[in-house]
Amino acid sequence: MSELFCDIGVGGMTCASCVTRVERAIAKLPGVASVSVNLATESARVTWSDSQAHEDLQTQQVRLRRAVRDAGYEPLASEHLEQVPAGPWVGFAPVAIGLLLSSPLVLPMLGDALGQHWMLPALWQFLLATPVQFVLGARFYKAGWHALRAATGNMDLLVALGTSAGWALSVWLWLSAPAGAMVHLYFEVSAVVITLVLLGKWLEARAKRQTTDAIRALHALRPARARVITRDGEQEIPIEELLVADRLVVLPGERFAADGVMLDGQTQVDESMLTGEPLPVPKGVDAHVTGGSINGDGRVVVRVSATGTATVLANIIRLVEDAQAAKAPIQRLVDQVSAVFVPVVLVLALATVLAWWFTGHSLEVSLIHGVAVLVIACPCALGLATPAAIMAGTGVAAKHGVLIKDAQALEIAHQVDTVAFDKTGTLTVGQPRLLSLSAVHELDGTQTATQASMPWTADARALLTLAASLQSGSEHPLAHAVVQAAKVQGLVYEPPTAVKAVPGFGSEGVVQTRSLLLGSLHWMATLSLPTGAWSSYAQALQAQGATVSVLAERTPQGVRALGVLAFGDEPKPGAQQALATLRARGLRLVMISGDNAGAAQAMAVRLGLRPNEVHAEVMPVDKAALVKSLQHNPNGTAHVVAFVGDGINDAPALAAADVGLAMANLHTDGQGGGIDVAMQAAGITLMRGDVALVAGALDISARTVAKIRQNLFWAFAYNAAGIPLAALGYLNPVVAGAAMALSSVSVMTNALLLKRWKP
């Protein structure tokens, strides 16, 4: 049985301590294998163990909602992030009321600076401050009470205790003062601190919405309805009712409702939101289209190939959501600190009060300094430092075609010092052409490798027909090249029977009662194929950089060669410059290829790679072992290795590498195929076949980790400096409240600077 994942929104969290508390509450549920709560997304990702995975999802959701509510927080629908906010000022009403009521209380402070005495009567101060304290501040009392019941602490508890102390002290001084006496009260402390905290939370919420722009933009790509061709003509239906094999009509300017294959029409498709590719992509009959992309100037008919959660867009959204919900390894330090932070602050606040009181100061002064400690120590910035940067980094990366699957890959990628590339389809176009096909009996040893049998001889055409028949059911790039060459020659071929793929070698099957094999020279050598003039000719082709396959036949006398096929591929545009850029960053480059050494070395020269950076004739099953060998040099030096691949045969190597980067190449594989497997094995997916995105992925990793470290430094430094200053009496509670609110906003703002990144 497979694991069951549940997502649930959690409302009311305010700091890192809240995250710890929610995680503890959910972890106590029976069958929970792991739980990760994200403060920035206000969500929890829960994994149930196999023994509980059989239970109905609705039952699990009910248990989760109860656990969250019992912990003192509000369970929300997991889709709450998709909801578009009403506007930039949503939620500002409590802040506005707080500012309106608190402003008169601050006037005396301004008057003192101007030499004026604008002190309000005590009753007026009481009437202005009390609604702020107990109406606008009710959220802090509610959340703080739940924290106390759970024997934990959070930001709300610190705010509630600090402001309550200031308000209660003011009431006591007012009621105990002699009749007619003008005493200094601290109602402005409680009212202004609550207002500033509310203002900080509102600004923080606005920044959070900006960090989730990427998710909302991706969800917005899905059109609500699709135009389906039925027996009664065209009919609009909700996309939830689409089925595979439905035929859709897509008009110019409309979005494709699902993944599919073009049946009719020509157009240009804008895939920029999915791939980051700025230019429209030409599409014709049999081309793959991706749901969410925009049709250009042609009316087209599309056959649906995937719907719902099986589409490429759904997979992209899932990867981005997973990355933004995950915790980076560095977050563990924050969790450990937050678990003891609030109790330590409460002890420090009490120690501050006692220290000032025992040194001869009044209880009034002592309490105010204790309140300042409570207010300035709120751990909001600490809880937001990591998730805010991760959300901003993964969001802007997705916008430019770099999908980061998990936070661990994001944190490790900037440490990469070795980048290994698969060759075909990653560094090269991956669509090789058949350059020549020579019949073995026509080779007498005098031909040179440049004497390709073009124009085609009758024997070569006959062999091409056999080869195309054998390869007609294969998805291998070389098989496509054979079939395409046969179509160009106008040859008619029939489907093979008893076809069997031999991974890493080739394929075999029966064509016209003949048992045929088509594969590499290495495979032929293992079959003890008799060598002859064709062998030296094939080796000469390899030396010139061609990929060589042999068409052979099983006979009662053994396996005999029929023809030699030579294939050629081209480097991807910009690949050489991209590799040079990576080398300039000080990275070690490696190319891994299943091709023969001659073909691999010839391509390496065209790519600007050095001979010692090429590993040729590597079987798919051996790629993972080679990646592991790159991670550990014989001299004991450890390396952080990234592997870049694009197919199902690269999945083991992608998983073995410290960071796997799967190149999706949507333009050539819109239906996924092996790409889906590669994307699941890789920590990072490059949504277009541009080698330059590798440097971009490493760069956004470095920038995001730098933001995390900056945020954590300032969050820790803020508390490390602020608490002693407050305890020593250098900060009054109002200034402490403003600084506390500013710390959270500054962390969010610093993280949002990542949105300006471009690869």
Could you give the residue numbers annotated as active site? 422
Residue 199 amino acid letter: L
* Cα distance between residue 734 and residue 111, in whole Å: 16
Enumerate the β-bridge partners of residue 472: none
Q: Which two tokens stand for residue 289?
A: 């289209």
For strand 294-295 and strand 418-422, is the pairing parallel, antiparallel, or unpaired? unpaired
* Cα distance between residue 259 and residue 261, in whole Å: 7
* Cα distance between residue 271 and residue 290, in whole Å: 8
Other residues' Cβ atoms within 10 Å of the Cβ of residue 76: 18
Those residues whose C-beta lies under 8 Å from the C-beta of residue 713, and which sit 6 or more positions away, are none
Q: Which value, in Å, is the radius of gyration of the alpha carbons in the chain?
A: 34
Q: 407, exposed or middle or buried, with CB in 10 Å at 0-12, 13-18, 19+?
A: buried
Other residues' Cβ atoms within 10 Å of the Cβ of residue 340: 12
* Cα distance between residue 106 and residue 116, in whole Å: 13
Tokens 């909001």 appear where? Answer: 380
* Cα distance between residue 104 and residue 92, in whole Å: 20
- As a residue count, the chain comes to 759
Q: What are phi and psi of 662, to 5 degrees?
A: -95, 130
Those residues whose C-beta lies under 8 Å from the C-beta of residue 200, and which sit 6 or more positions away, are 380, 740, 741, 742, 744, 745
Tokens 């508890």 appear where? Answer: 157
Please list, residue by residue across 135-160, b when 16 or more beta carbons sit within 10 angstroms of its beta carbon and e when fewer do: ebbebbbebbebbeeeebbbbbbbbb
Please list, residue by residue across 323-339, b when 16 or more beta carbons sit within 10 angstroms of its beta carbon and e when fewer do: bbbbbbebbeebbebbb
